[in-house]
Amino acid sequence: MAHATVSVIFLLACLAAYEAQHEPGYCSFYEECGRNPSVGNALIPPIVPCLDYSPARSLKGEHYRRLKQACPMLDRGENNTYACCSIKQIRSLEMSLTLSKAVLIRCPSCADNFAHLHCITTCSPDQSQRLRITKTMIANTSMNIEKEFVVGYEAYISKTFAEGSFQSCKNVRIPATGGFAVATMCGRYGAKLCTAQRWYDFQGDSSNGLAPLDIDFKLVPEGDTEGLPAGVFPYDGRALKCNETTPTGGEVCSCQDCQESCPSVPPPSPPAGPFTLADADGYLVICLILLCLLLFSFLFFLSVSLFLKITERRDTEGGKGKSTDKNGNEVTQRVIYPSEVTWTERNSLASQEFLGSLFQAWGTLIASHPLKVLLACAIVVIAFAIGLMHIELTTDPVQLWSAPNSRARTEKDFHDKLFDPFFRTNQLILTAPGRPGQIYDSLLFGKQNFSGLISKDLIMQLLELQTKIQNIEFWSEDLNRPASLKDVCFAPLNPSNPSLTDCAVNSLPQYFQNSVDKLNAKVNMTELGVTKEVDWRDHFIYCVNSPLSFKDITDLGMSCMADYGAPVFPFLAVGGYENDGFTSAEALILTFSLNNYARGDAKFNVALQWEKIFLDIVQEYQRNPNTNFTFAYMAERSLEDEINRTTAEDIPIFMISYAVIFVYIAVALGEYSSCKRILVDSKFLVGLGGILVVGCSVLASMGFYAWIGIPSSLVILQVVPFLVLAVGADNIFIFVLEHQRDMRRPGESREEQIGRVLGNVAPSMLLCSLSESICFFLGALTTMPAVKSFALYAALAVVMDFVLQMTAFVALLSLDARRQDGNRCELICCVTVKAQRPTQPNEGVLLPLMRKYYAPVLLHPITRIVVMVVFILMFCSSIYLMFHVTVGLDQELAMPQGSYMLDYFKYLYAYFEVGVPTYFVTTKGFDFTAVAGMNATCSSTGCDPFSLTQKIQYATEYPELSYMAIPANSWVDDFIDWLNPGSKCCRLYTLGPNAGNFCSADQSAILCGRKCMATPPNGVLRPTVEQFNRFLPDFLGNRPDLQCPKGGLGAYDKAVVRDASGEIIASRFMAYHTPLKNSQEFTAALQKVRELAHNITKSMRQIPGTSPDFEVFPYTVTYVFYEQYLTIVPEGLFNISLCLVPTFVVCCILLMDLRSGFLNLLTIVMITVDTVGVMTLWGIDYNAVALINLVTAVGISVEFVSHLTRSFALSIQPTQVDRAKEAAANMGSAVFAGVAMTNLPGIVVLAFAKAQLIQIFFFRLNLVITLLGLFHGLVFLPVLLSYFGPGVNKAILLQLQQAKAQQEQLSNHTKHIYENESYVNNEKTPEPTHNPSTQKKIPIEGVNPAGTIEEETMENTSF
């Protein structure tokens, strides 16, 4: 029976085709017969006409008016208009065109051309000459009357008309997605591969759920009649160009929808090229010139110095006064007269004597009361440290690296306050390397290359994993009830009461609505006489090319929309493809989007709990040996989790580092004069005390700032102790070594000796500590929170360290000296040894080596020249390298080695095909309700060609320069289209209790017979202020669907913020960046998008009524991290310059010598510049963490440099070379042992840390800083001082001369008294005339009894 029915149908179809006639004025079909029996599931009722070869009907009255409204191109006047369509057909045509107009109405000429074609095929009076019926079916109408249904025909169209229509529509945009409307109307081909023929083929394909019957559009070239049926003439009407007005008065299409309408816009200027001079690297040329100038200047200086020395040697033979050389021979030395001593020299000596006497008295006092001092220090430290109970540890990267008043932070706060914060992303990127691909021969799409990843079994496994994650449930203490994904998920289309299927989950299974049955679905389908099976692969191919489709073109008839109601764009489902070859993708992407709550919100903790379970499930899945995927994953909490985890794991590394430093200090401070006295002369407890002093200073600093509410950070915990240890250990070594090298004078107590030693070295310690503390306090002027808090903590820690060294450590040394004098063992104080302490001072091993070998070799004439040339070359090279240092910090460096986030970043950069979304946010002060305001924002017909959205569109045309990939969506455009009466979106109830209120598109036309707005005469619809304010809330709350895809719910409901009066106080327009892969690209993208936003702001401020403080700014979640790199170079120069100022000023004030201050500053500058140069060579990027270390470098450099500079300035050796030797040996040995050898062991341990940040910015960079400081301080600076150092302070020489003269006078007078006594004793007289003892006590005018001591003191002053 079924076979007979098919045969009858086929016979009738053939007869119909055979008997068809093609004459002018005749119709091929007329009136509606009913539903197409051959179409199953359809998105709209597939009503088809009846076969009826008859003359065209004359139209009058309502019939004529309906045709004129729907097809104005067929209007010939009321009495002269003929057509082949009934009123019912016109109504069905209008309903069909309404769906298309919803997306095409933006461009009136496109909408007109689209309607033009279907009006011709449906209503043309010469219909029979344009069509050939190819398929009919006998069926019963709704009135149960048997009729012949037309279910297929051929339409013959001029190729010129077809191409013109297609060209007018191919660039029309969908503002909500930024994509092209034609992508939804070209089936599997999408926008890129769509052509006129493919466009029309889709329109005539009844399987798409929209076409009621099959139409085979034949595009016939001009003049080609071959193959045309007799009497058929292709329709050759004129298609409007997109930059033409329509016959009904519609305006030209906008630039965004029509390239021909675009004004001439010059391309953006390319980025500036590298700096060049004479076609060479400009920086290299400048550095070479600088190198030549410095070398020439140095050689010129050597030549002049040599000439002057030769001249001076000739002119000054035989001098005034004599001194003794190394061999004890007398050499001439001129006498210093008081008139030769300058003011600065006199004040320099006075300041040194004042500081020396002050610290001597202070040291004696502290050493006399050690236990009281230690108790007082402990009380003070504890009082400060109690503040640690209130310490706030900042771990949020935003609060660490973005200043609260910075532009990016302000913009972020504005966005997050008025809009919801950027949603939380939880994502997996899955691959299956090694799986063989396959060629799938599709019935509809031809041969397609499927990668091994795009296979049914893997998609099933992905769906299983996705379902397991979606079904996460847990008990929430914050909610006091069970919680699940629906409690925290981002549900754009049902935000108030979401179910699991409302949650935004993007993945490939969403093309099948996460249904196993749909994945398994298959059906036989016939196309062009070929029957094949179609399955999930055909549906997938269709959906990735047409993600907005509600029904594919296969007989499966499945939707492509996700189960939560939104489209899944292919870049959200698959990755690692080229040129839209989605089937060859190498990665599957699974993304769960959660709402981002404020940290104080209870649901914030719920989201964290969900993400924790998400990570547990994913990690367990990864460990499963049966897993077929190789994948990477992340949760929104992952970055912070991994940073905190690696910090905790690396704490033992830091502890080991501190332990190594402690052991070194304890061992190095010992005297070790005899094996029997090792336990007596060791300084284990002194070293421990020194470490405790450093620790207490850090604790006191942290506690103080915790008291006053300044938060700390992990960077402070890691860097500040190292910094203070470097500073403190240096001072400890200088003090202890000086004490060991000093011999107690006759009649001097232990406490007085300690005070005298402190008076010698404390000014140098003060010089360094004061310079460093002021340096760090000035560094706190920066706006970067992490750097600011570090500088504050470091400054106070350095101050506290100096104070505790001057108090607690002096007291500890006094107690240790008392123990050592009593020959008691250090760790077992009750045990004494018999071996006595050596009578000679203990110089250790390092000082004699440096005095005997190192200093003479370093300051040999040839060595000095080599050193100067090498360091000048190094300095110039570093200046060149400094200009090529990479600025930025790639986020993967914040992760520890082996972190799963490193794999995620690798997969993200390799497989993700689109960049981060960015919002263009408008502030209060712009009138969107005014026509000028809408035109300045929108990009459809009638809009300003340089509007907000249009300028963003221009930027996307040059993605390599603008970093913009997808144009911005526009709620203004979609609101205008939503209001357009040509669509079905905005209607009003005409019946019932809601009469006059908004009626959604899914309601019956009987209830909603009134449009919100009338059709504008020129096609440019703009609501009045009243209409704008009335219908905007309806638009924002309208859920998009097939009948009205322009609804604003989900896309725009949170994009517009209005106050209580209805004024728009903020709105946003979302675009997309190109894929950004490193911090340099993120920074460049931020800079470009800000320039674009600034340009838009200037244009919109010119609109009448706009507030002068109105602004458009860009925002995305990453800008707040990368903004610092726009200004970090000048800010770094400012901070480092501020740090350098006190090193110069303090040195000049304490030494009263500008030259010493300048040489001190020059060496520190060279250390800093060379550090940046080595950073370039070693791949260390310049960023906020590096800046902290560079500020630290200035502080540590002070330790390497300032001690030697002061030692040289106060030395009284006759020549600069001799003074440099003395400074290099005496102070250089202490600096080497105290700074370099204290830092290096601890730094080397950091190489074993897991965190890459610690390895790079704490191990590498601190190693560089320490080594460069060591070489500059102990190699370059002595040589520099030997050439350019200040002369001997004449005030010191004058004082020595006067002391020596007084000593000689006293010696001569004493000799004279002894001679007189001898004579009297030899003479025999009856009685003495006076008491000899009285004669000894006669004061001698002008003689200082302590002259000898003064001379000795000055000779020992080498610091």
pLDDT in tens, 888-914: 888 888 788 888 999 999 999 999 888
Pairing of strands 917-922, 712-713: unpaired
Dist. CA 572–CA 578, nearest whole Å: 15
Opening angle at CA 95, ends 92 and 96, nearest 5: 90
d(CA 505, CA 499): 12
Contact 751, 739 (CB under 8 A): no
Supply the pLDDT for residue 844.
Answer: 67
Decide if 665 contacts 768 (C-beta within 8 A): no
Give the per-residue pLDDT at 122.
93
Spatial neighbors of 52 by CB under 8 A, at least 6 apart, are 27, 28, 29, 30, 31
Partners of 593 in the β-ladder? 425
> Are residues 727 and 1266 in contact, defined by beta-carbon separation less than 8 angstroms?
no
Query: 231: alpha, beta or left, given left = phi > 0 and alpha = psi -120 to 50?
Result: left
* pLDDT of the residue at 552: 85
Instruction: Give the number of other Cβ atoms within 10 Å of residue 1046's Cβ.
Output: 28
Secondary structure of residue 235 in the 3-state scheme: strand
Report the C-alpha gap between 188 and 135 in whole angstroms. Answer: 25
Token reading at 201: 């083929």
Q: What is the pLDDT of residue 1200?
A: 85
Identify the pLDDT of residue 63.
Answer: 94
Q: How confident is the model at residue 146 (pLDDT cuts 50, 70, 90)?
A: confident
Does 1309 have pLDDT greater than 80?
no
Residue 222, CA distances (Å) to 157, 208, 225 in order: 10, 30, 9
Query: Where does the pLDDT of residue 1115 fall: very low under 50, low under 70, confident under 90, or very high at 90 and above?
Result: very high
CA distances from 143 to 33, 50, 86, 146 (A): 9, 14, 17, 9
Instruction: Convert the pLDDT of each residue in 250-261 to its tens digit.
Output: 888 888 888 888
| Whether pLDDT at 1 is above 60 | no
Q: What is the pLDDT of residues 849-869, one digit of tens each?
A: 888 999 999 999 999 999 999
- How high is the pLDDT of residue 1352? 38
Query: How many Å separate Cα 1115 from the centre of its chain?
Result: 13
| Mean per-residue pLDDT of the chain | 85
pLDDT at 309: 82
Q: Say if residues 451 and 581 touch (Cβ distance below 8 Å).
A: no
CB of 622 closer than 8 Å to CB of 881 = no
| pLDDT for residue 1331 | 39
Q: What is the pLDDT of residue 118?
A: 92
Q: Residue 480 pLDDT more than 50?
A: yes
Q: What is the pLDDT of residue 17?
A: 42
The count of other CB atoms within 10 Å of the CB of residue 347 is 15
* Helix/strand/coil for 133: strand
CA–CA separation, 1173 and 817 (whole Å): 46
Helix (H, G, I), strand (E, B) or coil at 35: strand
Q: Inform me whether the pLDDT recorded for 16 exceeds 50.
A: no
**Among candidate residues 686, 333, 355, the one with its CA nearest the CA of residue 1357:** 355
Better-scored residue on pLDDT, 438 or 1338? 438
Question: What is the C-alpha to C-alpha distance for residues 561 and 574, in angstroms, rounded to an integer?
Answer: 16
Give me the pLDDT at residue 589, please.
96
Contact 1020, 942 (CB under 8 A): yes
pLDDT tens-digit readout, 732-776? 888 888 888 788 888 889 899 999 999 988 888 888 788 888 888
Cα–Cα distance, 1359 to 1346 (Å, whole number): 22
What confidence tens digit (pLDDT) does each residue in 409-427 have? 999 999 989 988 888 999 9
Percent of the chain with pLDDT over 70: 91
Least confident of 659-673, 1112-1126, 1278-1292: 659-673
pLDDT for 816: 85
DSSP SS3 for 941: coil
Token pair in block for residue 554: 């296969």
> pLDDT tens for residues 358-413?
999 999 999 999 999 999 999 999 999 998 888 888 777 788 778 888 899 999 99
Instruction: Report whether 964 contacts 1032 (CB < 8 A).
Output: no
For the residues 1063-1067, what does the mean pLDDT come to? Answer: 95
pLDDT over 80 (residue 682):
no
pLDDT at 13: 45
Q: Residue 152 pLDDT more than 90?
A: yes
**Residue 1339 predicted with pLDDT over 50:** no
Asked whether residue 323 carries a pLDDT value surpassing 90, the answer given is no
Identify the H or E element spanning 847: helix 846-849
Helices (H) and strands (E) in the chain, counts: 46, 34
Rounded CA separation 1169/1240 (Å): 21
Q: Say if CB 1223 and CB 1208 are below 8 A apart.
A: yes
**Would you state the pLDDT for residue 1344?**
34
pLDDT at 1327: 46
Q: Is the pLDDT of residue 1359 over 50?
A: no
State pLDDT tens for residues 931-966. Answer: 999 999 998 888 998 999 999 999 998 999 999 998
Question: Quick one: average pLDDT of 1077-1098?
Answer: 94
Output phi, psi for 1330, to 5 deg: -160, 165
The vertex-582 CA angle with 581 and 588, nearest 5°, equals 140
Q: Output phi, psi for 970, to 5 deg.
A: -145, 110
pLDDT tens-digit readout, 971-1007 = 999 999 899 888 888 999 988 888 889 998 888 888 8
* Number of C-beta neighbours around residue 651 at 10 A: 13
